[in-house]
Structure 1
Amino acid sequence: MSPARRRHRAKKGSRGPSPAEELDRLRDRIDQSEAGWSNAMLRRLGGVQRAASAGRDMTRAIQSIQRDLARLETARDARGAQRFE
Structure 2
Amino acid sequence: MPAPPPSGYSMGHGPSCFDKVKMGFMMGFCVGMASGAMFGGFSALRYGLRGRELLQTVGKTMVQGGGTFGTFMGIGTGIRC
**TM-score normalized by structure 1?**
0.40
**TM-score normalized by structure 2?**
0.41
Higher relative contact order (CA 8 A, sep 6+): 2
Q: Which has the higher helix share?
A: 1
